[in-house]
Amino acid sequence: ARSELRLFFVRQLCNSAFKLVKFVFRQLLHFSLVTTRKTNLLRSIVTTTL
């Protein structure tokens, strides 16, 4: 029974870690997309004003 409990805990831990990694990755992806969009906007503004 103890090994089953340990397995359950390990599975829960892995699940939580996976969710966390996925969340962080999604946030980073979103952030990079937003910053890319902002830099492109800035670049276009600069090129049109110069």
Residue 1, burial from CB neighbour count under 10 angstroms (0-12, 13-18, 19+): exposed
The residue that leads in pLDDT, 8 or 1, is 8
pLDDT digits 0-9 by tens, 17-43: 999 999 999 999 999 999 999 999 999
Q: pLDDT value at position 1?
A: 78
Which range marks the domain in which residue 7 is found?
Answer: 1-49
Overall number of domains in the chain? 1
Among candidate residues 34, 33, 39, 36, the one with its CA nearest the CA of residue 47: 39
Report pLDDT digits (tens) over 9-23.
999 999 999 999 999
DSSP state of 50: -
Total-model pTM: 0.63
